[in-house]
Amino acid sequence: MELKLEKLNEFEGRKGPLLLVIMDGVAYGRMDESDAVYLAKTPNLDKLLNDIPLQTKLKAHGPAVGLPSEDDMGNSEVGHNALGAGRVFAQGAKLVNRSFESGEIFQSDNWKNVIQHGKNGGTVHFIGLLSDGNVHSHINHWFALVNKCAEEGIQKVRLHILIDGRDVGEKSAMDYVNPTEELLKKINSEKGFDYKIASGGGRMITTMDRYNADWSIVERGWKAHVLGEARHFKSAEEAVTTMYNEDPKIIDQYLESFVIVDDNDNPVGTIEDGDAVVFINFRGDRAIEISKAFEDEIFDKFDRKRKPNVFYAGMMEYDGDLHIPKNYLVSPPAIDRTISEYLCNAEVKSFAISETQKFGHVTYFWNGNRSGYINKNLETYVEIPSDKIAFDKAPKMKAPEITEKTIEFLKSGEYKFGRINYPNGDMVGHTGVMEAAIEAVETVDEGIGKLLPIIDELGGIAIITADHGNADEMFNMKNGKKDVKTAHTLNPVPFVIYDSNYNGEYKMADVKNPGLTNIAGTILNLLGYKNVDGYDQSLITFEK
């Protein structure tokens, strides 16, 4: 299909640029004491939501972004896929669930290779996030893989569990460790096999770094999973409960790395030559770095000490352009005809800006899981390095720098379209610290307050929206007590068109169940182009 845009007859766009502002993790909450967005002083956002008629609420979770059910919270990856794709694609959890349901996953050559390594005397290792958050992984997938190994007669399996506390309750580790231990015990008892948890750690401390932000996180994971170098415990339960007792304020995602040892204090599950390793997360951002550590021959991020000769596979291909990892069990969605491809084909110059934590979202995920530029002559991507400290300690993050760089690009006159992501509401919301989340939202509001006058000055348009909720729901009440919530929410997100030159040329369309995928067609319309075949309906209409 030719990626060609047609001009609108009714509207040619504004003389100035169109700016898309993504307030990551900012949605409509309960407007009570649990809602950091509501509690924050946000004069600019308040004015937009109260005074601008060109607005609506968008779904950013569940089937609206390609996830299995209405109970599945959205996330930044699927959110930006939806924003850039203009239509819904089946996403990670949905794809993986289908593959398990059909049994297709166990028919793949790569799974057969895993089994063959186990039958040849190697150990089969599974590494990943152990929870039912369904954002990066699901405990059901762990159980299905382990049970299949038992069915296939694999004698030795080791689990390297990353503790969540981010997409699920902040101190819910034992809700997942206990049933896992029960399953392993049952298999060992019934079949005489050797299945054990071998290592672990909190996801923000161990293994699951992203965007090259802090490779020491991956190094700690490598030491624990591969080398057996971390604090010793006799069981995962002992590790978790000990750390809880040592620091009652600690939450799961920050639990230190640990190794399970036998009665002689020897690690029970180091990774050795001839073993098979499967990284079971289906979401890519926090799976790429550990995959590179296992696969790259030339590697300078830390001293691996040794690189075992193993068969390594991911649940999915985490980077389709760089082909990381080389082997995977389930193919990712093939997202074609992204809005950036159409804009580049029409020679529309654009920019994308965020800090490290969300840079990949406004580039790689926006472009349909595609690395690099679509057309470097027409696009400029700017990554502002994130700080390497806990986000609640610096809730402003790099929002001021994002704002400053955006103003510079807008004023340059070179670009017709720009997209930026303020990560604050999401990254600080994940910490569960209310005061920090409020400051994070206020910081984003300050940024918007500086951008809108520039849009006015240039005669442009701004779209203000979000990819999912987070800071809008910082706790729930449970048995009369506050239960801190660090996960994303199921709440709708705002969508506002700020157009100071608006003179009734268009109006909000009557869209049934509008979601993030409706934004791409809207962007095309506001730039003066018709929506393209196959894209979801635009949120605006030119019908009088």
> Over the stretch 507-517, which tens digit does the pLDDT of each residue have?
999 999 999 99
Alpha helix (H) ranges present in 12-135?
36-39, 43-51, 76-85, 92-102, 109-119
What integer pLDDT is reported at residue 320 of this predicted model? Answer: 64
Which positions ≥6 away from 527 have C-beta within 8 Å?
13, 18, 343, 348, 416, 417
Rounded Cα distance, 103 and 107, in Å: 7
What integer pLDDT is reported at residue 214 of this predicted model? Answer: 94
Q: Is 65 helix (H, G, I), strand (E, B) or coil?
A: helix
What integer pLDDT is reported at residue 399 of this predicted model? Answer: 98
Mean pLDDT, range 398-425, rounded to an integer? 98
The values of phi and psi at residue 197, to 5°, are -75, 135
Mean pLDDT across the chain: 96
What integer pLDDT is reported at residue 91 of this predicted model? Answer: 85
Rounded Cα distance, 296 and 273, in Å: 16
CA dist 300 to 216, 227, 293, 319, 351, Å?
12, 18, 9, 20, 31
What integer pLDDT is reported at residue 323 of this predicted model? Answer: 81
Among residues of the chain, what percentage have pLDDT more than 90? 89
Q: Is 335 helix (H, G, I), strand (E, B) or coil?
A: coil
What integer pLDDT is reported at residue 242 of this predicted model? Answer: 98
What's the token pair of residue 261?
């040892």
pLDDT tens-digit profile of 276-287? Answer: 999 999 988 899
pLDDT tens-digit profile of 425-471? Answer: 999 999 999 999 999 999 999 999 999 999 999 999 999 999 999 99
Candidate from 53-57, 122-126, 234-238, 329-333 with smallest mean pLDDT = 329-333
Mean pLDDT, range 39-44, rounded to an integer? 98
**63 pLDDT more than 60:** yes
Candidate from 27-31, 75-79, 234-238 with smallest mean pLDDT = 75-79
pLDDT tens-digit profile of 299-349? Answer: 999 999 999 999 999 999 887 657 899 999 997 777 999 999 999 999 999
pLDDT tens-digit profile of 495-509? Answer: 999 999 999 999 999
Angle among Cα 223, 226, 231 to the nearest 5 degrees reads 45
What integer pLDDT is reported at residue 321 of this predicted model? Answer: 56
List of domains in the chain = 18-90+334-541 (3.40.720.10), 93-330 (3.40.1450.10)
Q: Report, as residue numbers or ranges, the catalytic residues.
A: 76
| 127 closest CA partner among 198, 188, 60 | 198
What integer pLDDT is reported at residue 45 of this predicted model? Answer: 98
Among residues of the chain, what percentage have pLDDT more than 70? 99
What integer pLDDT is reported at residue 478 of this predicted model? Answer: 81
Mean pLDDT, range 464-484, rounded to an integer? 92
Rounded Cα distance, 496 and 400, in Å: 22
Model-level pTM?
Answer: 0.77
pLDDT tens-digit profile of 247-305? Answer: 999 999 999 999 999 999 999 999 999 999 999 999 888 999 999 999 999 999 999 99
Higher pLDDT, 144 or 390: 144
Mean pLDDT, range 33-41, rounded to an integer? 98
Measured on CA atoms in the order 6, 9, 10, 11, is the torsion positive or negative?
A: positive
**55 pLDDT more than 70:** yes
**20 pLDDT more than 90:** yes
How many C-beta atoms surround the C-beta of residue 323 within 10 A?
12
**1 pLDDT more than 80:** no
